[in-house]
Chain A
Amino acid sequence: MTHDHRLRFKTLVMVCVMVVCANLGDLMLKRGMLQIGAVQMTSSGIWRALFSTIHNGTIWLGIFFLLGFTFSYMTAVSWADYSYVMPAGAFGYAVQTMLAVTILHESVNTQRWIGVTLIVFGVLLVGQTHPTTTKPRPVAS
């Protein structure tokens, strides 16, 4: 495998990890907040919500996945361009729609399908460019 192919492959893997972690993190946070219930906007209500989130395992799982997202994002931009990684991350919206259709059997309107198609083609266009256009970086040791 050439250096260019390896760079593309590892960036693709890291972007996939980013997308999975971001979606699972959001899902877990949403599920955790639903378990806690609506936050009352009073000082005692906010303190109660804070206490509940600290003791909620689902919230911690969400935080774990969001940390995974941050870490994979940091790793991806350490070798690839920001303008390459950032739009590729939008692929998560397309994945969300596919999951909504295939797993949740939701109906998706035409506008959303057009949006997903634009995202997929946009990501494919960005993916055809070279992942890094700045000078080579040192390897951390």
Chain B
Amino acid sequence: MSKLVLMLVFFICATTGGEIAMTHGMKQVGEPERIRPRALLRFIGRAVRSGWVWFALPLMAASFYSLLVLLSWAPLSVVIPASAFNYVVGTFGAKYLLKEHVCVKRWMGVVMVCIGVTLVLFTQ
């Protein structure tokens, strides 16, 4: 049981941590000045030089592999809510780490998406 809980915590932390690190890195990189091939190539060039992007990639890979491990250890009824719960944890991360302003309307939307994803995945 404790092994499963640890893996669930690791999965949620790796997923949210990876996405937040990627977002932080991309905010530092800045947006592409145009959606044109040359400008996008320059944008990618800046992104691959960002330390935060390289920090995010292994976390995202760890999130993917921990999901596979969880699916082999635990029933879907445990893994799916944990997967959907990432939306809520991610929003907390956005609010407190990325300093985004999360208004009531956005919170309500995130909670609805979280419940909706759980319902959809349970039927697959």
- Please list the residues of chain A having a beta carbon within 8 angstroms of any beta carbon in chain B: 10, 71, 73-75, 77-79, 81-84, 86-87, 90, 93-94, 97, 108-109, 111-112, 114-129, 133-134, 137-141
Known contacts: A78-B27, A126-B106. The answer to whether A86 contacts B19 by CB under 8 A is yes
How far is it, in angstroms, between the C-alpha of A86 and the C-alpha of B20 when the chains are bound? 10
Contact of B116 among A82, A84, A93 (CB under 8 A): A93
Q: Smallest CB-CB separation from A128: which chain B residue?
A: B105
How far is it, in angstroms, between the C-alpha of A109 and the C-alpha of B120 when the chains are bound? 10
What bracket does the count of chain B residues touching chain A fall in?
Answer: 35 or more
Flag if B118 contacts A122 (CB, 8 Å): no
How far is it, in angstroms, between the C-alpha of A93 and the C-alpha of B120 when the chains are bound? 7
Question: Hey, which chain B residues are within 8 Å of A133, CB to CB?
Answer: 100-102
Question: Hey, which chain B residues are within 8 Å of A125, CB to CB?
Answer: 105-106, 108-109, 112
Chain B residues 67-111 with CB under 8 Å of chain A are 87, 90-91, 93-95, 98-103, 105-106, 108-111
How far is it, in angstroms, between the C-alpha of A78 and the C-alpha of B20 when the chains are bound? 12
Flag if B103 contacts A129 (CB, 8 Å): yes
